[in-house]
């Protein structure tokens, strides 16, 4: 039988009682029904809830075939997108690939590089220099089709790829993933004849990792997307069985963080002990930050990589202001065993670790840190997965998505919109002189003292 992620909340019990947890069952019942029956806030964006069980075989085949086609002609695939349009694929690719940052010519799978997630000319220029040297293709992703960061990156890269391969061949190296009918990217795809995949209307960016948005780049990296979907589907079916807080891991996680939040723990630190999960934490930060941070409410999600960050933020965690709780993702088994060698001179005084597997050392660091932080007033939720592979990552992704929906409903916000993201865009457009923004431009320029 397949294993599921497990949750250990014993280290929040000094801060939250079992009764407080159980008392939230009626609220969870309601929010759970709202998610499943699509009757809650933002219910037009609940397509992700049934996504794993409803994704069609023909779509999966199309994604895999397209990925194979791109792989056959590319050493590099550039994924252009920002926010939910790139964080999910980056999270999965990094979690499941070798650590080596070096580009190896002999790689069978192309290297996936990301663009359109910043506006830095140095970043973009370095990327173009790499693209000068290697064969590449592009996956451009934007649900709205109008987001400025990916749109500018795409304009620059389109110019490059067209010069490199010629207009007709370049078009065959571009795949667009966007809305079925709206937005400039859709319009351009029709005009230029790019192959496209559709982001369903009812799935928002940060919940779109199990659509072509996440799956095509991941498949292009040589990762088995069927197993990811299988894991997510098994988790979906398990969470659909019951909303009993004791049996539904997403409900228990949502309830615990809500109770901690109500006790003044306004910051959740997601910690892991494997650097390959760095981008998974970035994905999680967007999921929770953009879903909950509304109406001056919500837990502020941050992430740390231990043991690295124990030597930077660890001090604050242990001793700083007490408004933090931690959630740790523990991976029970690593891909490789690496034993600390014996050394009879023992000048480094490490013989007490000799013969121990590094994963065991890492685990003791984790368990010791959890207790130290709990003793220092930082409650801890521990989520364990057996192994870092496609299947368990699929489970974890769906679990966090479902818990995020419940969490948003618990604090009574719409977890599926992001009105706050618009404000910076309006100001930027005004400052750049976008047509229609001239009044705002004058006001902002006066405020910034630039004429
Ligand atoms: O979760 C979201 O909806 C956002 O983070 C978007 O993914 C992000 O802003 C990118 O938008 P788009 O895909 O429309 O370019």
What rounded mean pLDDT belongs to the chain?
95
Q: Is 425 left (phi over 0), alpha (psi -120 to 50) or beta?
A: alpha
Q: How far is the CA of 436 from the centre of ligand 1 (A)?
A: 23
User: Per-residue pLDDT tens for 386-403?
Assistant: 999 999 999 999 999 999
Q: SS3 helix, strand, coil % of the chain, rounded to 5? A: 55, 15, 30
Does residue 298 sit in the same domain as residue 356?
yes
Q: Are residues 247 and 221 in the same domain?
A: no
DSSP 110: P
Integer Cα distance of 176 and 79 in angstroms? 10
Q: How far is the centre of ligand 1, averaged over its atoms, from the C-alpha of 444 (Å)?
A: 25
Q: What is the pLDDT of residues 290-349, one digit of tens each?
A: 999 999 999 999 999 999 999 999 999 999 999 999 999 999 999 999 999 999 999 999
d(CA 318, CA 269): 12
pLDDT in tens, 257-298: 999 999 999 999 999 999 999 999 999 999 999 999 999 999
Neighbours of 196 (CB within 10 A): 19
Residues 16 and 108 in one domain: no
* Total domains present in the chain: 2
Using the mean position of ligand 1's atoms as its centre, give its distance from the Cα of residue 144 in Å.
Answer: 7
Residue 387 CA to residue 334 CA, distance in Å, equals 7
Distance CA 293, CA 421 (A): 11
133 is catalytic: no
pLDDT one-digit tens code per residue, 212-230: 999 999 999 999 999 999 9
Q: What are phi and psi of 270, to 5 degrees?
A: -90, 120
pLDDT of residue 369: 98
Q: Cis (ω within 30 of 0) for the bond into 200?
A: no
Residue 293 CA to residue 228 CA, distance in Å, equals 28
Condensed to tens digits (0 to 9), the pLDDT of residues 2-11 reads 899 999 999 9
Residue 90 forms beta bridges with which residues?
A: none
Query: Could you tell me the CA-to-CA distances from 306 to 6, 81, 310, 328, 387 in Å, in that order?
Result: 20, 28, 6, 10, 18
pLDDT for position 101: 60
Predicted confidence band of residue 73 (pLDDT cuts 50, 70, 90): very high
Tell me, yes or no, whether 219 lies in a domain.
yes
Instruction: Give the pLDDT score at 57.
Output: 95
Does the pLDDT value for residue 48 go beyond 60? yes
- Closest listed residue to residue 381, CA positions, set 358, 362, 400, 395: 400
Are residues 103 and 250 located together in one domain of the fold? no
* Shared-domain flag, residues 74 and 109: yes
- Per the domain annotation, does 448 fall within a domain? no
Domain membership flag for residue 394: yes
pLDDT higher than 60, residue 102: no
CB 143, CB 179: distance < 8 Å = yes
Domain presence at residue 274? yes
Phi and psi of 158, rounded to 5°?
-60, -40
Q: What does the pLDDT read at residue 422?
A: 82
Q: In this structure, what token pair is assigned to residue 190?
A: 């029709």
Same-domain check for residues 212 and 63: yes
Choosing from 311, 349, 422, 439, the catalytic residue is 311
Q: How far apart are the CA of 262 and the centre of ligand 1, in A?
A: 29
Question: Which secondary structure element, helix H or strand E, spans residue 403, and what is its range?
Answer: helix 390-410
Could you tell me the residue range of the domain that residue 320 belongs to?
6-42+228-410
Q: Which pLDDT score, from 0 to 100, does residue 108 have?
A: 76
Please check whether residue 203 lies inside any domain of the structure.
yes
Report the residue among 46, 141, 146, 205 best suited for mutation to probe ligand 1: largest number of ligand atoms under 8 A from its CB: 205
Co-location of 203 and 269 in the same domain: no
Note whether residue 386 is domain-resident. Answer: yes
User: Is the Cα dihedral 280, 395, 7, 307 positive or negative?
Assistant: negative
- Which residue ranges have their beta carbon within 6 Å of ligand 1? 82-85, 142-144, 147, 150, 204-206, 290, 418, 421
Say whether both 119 and 261 belong to one domain: no
Q: Strand 6-8 vs strand 324-333: parallel, antiparallel, or unpaired?
A: unpaired
Cβ contact 5:385 at 8 Å = yes
Report whether pLDDT(106) > 70. no
pTM of the model: 0.96
| 76 and 91 co-located in one domain | yes
The pLDDT tens digits for 416-443 are 999 888 888 889 999 999 999 988 999 9
Choosing from 94, 290, 292, 390, the catalytic residue is 290
Last residue of a domain, one of 207, 225, 243: 225
Q: Which pLDDT tens digit goes with each residue over 144-159?
A: 888 999 999 999 999 9
Q: Does a structural domain hold residue 68? A: yes
Judge if 243 and 381 occupy the same domain. yes
Q: Which of 3, 180, 247, 425 is catalytic?
A: 425
- Identify whether the C-beta of residue 258 lies closer than 8 Å to the C-beta of residue 411: yes
Q: How far apart are the first and last CA of the chain?
A: 68
**DSSP letters spanning 315-362:** HHHHHS-S-EEEEEEEEEE-SS--BPPP-TT-TT--GGGTT-BHHHHH
Distance 218 CA to ligand 1 centre (A): 18
| Atom 8 of ligand 1, residue of closest alpha carbon | 83
Smallest Cα–Cα separation from 155: which of 323, 147, 244, 134?
147
To the query of whether residue 311 is one of the catalytic residues in this protein, the response is yes
> Is position 124 within any domain?
yes
Q: What is the CATH number of the domain that holds 380?
A: 3.40.50.10490
Has residue 243 got a pLDDT over 90? Answer: yes
pLDDT of residue 1: 76
Q: What per-residue confidence (pLDDT) applies to 66?
A: 98
- Domain boundary pick from 200, 225, 250: 225
221, 259: one domain: no
Verify that 214 and 257 share a domain, yes or no: no
Looking at 185, 206, 225, the residue that finishes a domain is 225
Nearest-5° angle of CA 40, CA 44, CA 48? 90
Q: Give yes or no: 230 in active site.
A: no
Residue 252: Cβ-neighbour burial (10 angstroms; 0-12, 13-18, 19+): buried
Nearest residue (CA) to ligand 1, atom 3? 205
Nearest CA to ligand 1 atom 2: 205
Sorted by sequence, the CB contacts under 8 Å of residue 237 that are 6+ apart come out as 53
């Amino acid at each position: 039988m397949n294993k599921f992620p497990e949750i250990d909340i014993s280290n929040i019990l000094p801060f939250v009682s079992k009764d407080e947890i159980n008392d939230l069952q009626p609220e969870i019942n309601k929010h759970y029904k709202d998610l499943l029956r699509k009757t809650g806030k933002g219910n037009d964006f609940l397509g992700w809830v049934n996504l794993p069980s409803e994704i069609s075989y023909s779509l999966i085949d199309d994604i895999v075939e397209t990925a194979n086609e791109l792989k056959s002609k590319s050493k590099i695939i550039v994924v252009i997108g920002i926010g939910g349009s790139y964080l999910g694929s980056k999270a999965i690719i990094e979690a499941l690939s070798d650590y080596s940052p070096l580009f190896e010519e002999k790689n069978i799978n192309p290297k996936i590089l990301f663009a359109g997630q910043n506006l830095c000319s140095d970043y973009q220029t370095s990327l173009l220099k790499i693209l000068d040297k290697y064969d590449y293709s592009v996956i451009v992703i934007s649900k709205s089709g109008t987001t400025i960061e990916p749109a500018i990156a795409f304009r620059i890269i389109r110019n490059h790829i067209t010069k490199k391969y010629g207009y007709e061949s370049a078009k065959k190296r571009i795949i667009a993933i966007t809305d079925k009918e709206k937005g400039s990217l859709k319009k351009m795809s029709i005009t230029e004849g790019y192959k496209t995949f559709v982001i369903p209307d009812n799935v928002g960016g940060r919940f779109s990792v199990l659509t072509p948005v996440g799956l095509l780049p991941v498949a292009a990296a040589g990762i088995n997307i069927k197993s990811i979907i299988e894991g997510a589907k098994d988790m979906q079916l398990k969470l659909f069985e019951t909303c009993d807080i004791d049996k539904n891991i997403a409900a228990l996680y949502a309830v615990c963080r809500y109770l901690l939040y109500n006790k003044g723990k306004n910051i959740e630190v997601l910690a892991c002990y494997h650097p390959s999960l760095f981008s998974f934490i970035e994905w999680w930060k967007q999921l929770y930050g953009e879903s909950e941070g509304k109406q001056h409410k919500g837990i502020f999600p941050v992430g740390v990589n231990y043991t690295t960050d124990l030597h930077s933020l660890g001090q604050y965690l242990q001793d700083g202001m007490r408004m933090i709780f931690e959630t740790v993702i523990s991976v029970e088994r690593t891909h490789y065993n690496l034993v600390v060698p014996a050394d009879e001179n023992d000048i480094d005084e490490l013989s007490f670790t000799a013969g121990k597997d590094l994963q065991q050392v890492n685990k003791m660091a984790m368990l010791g840190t959890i207790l130290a932080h709990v003793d220092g007033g930082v409650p801890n939720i521990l989520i364990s997965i057996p192994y870092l592979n496609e299947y368990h990552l699929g489970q974890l992704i769906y679990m966090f998505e479902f818990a995020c929906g419940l969490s948003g409903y618990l604090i009574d916000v719409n977890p599926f919109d992001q009105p706050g993201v618009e404000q910076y865009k309006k100001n930027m457009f005004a400052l750049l002189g976008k047509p229609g923004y001239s009044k705002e431009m004058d006001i902002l320029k006066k405020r910034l003292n630039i004429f």
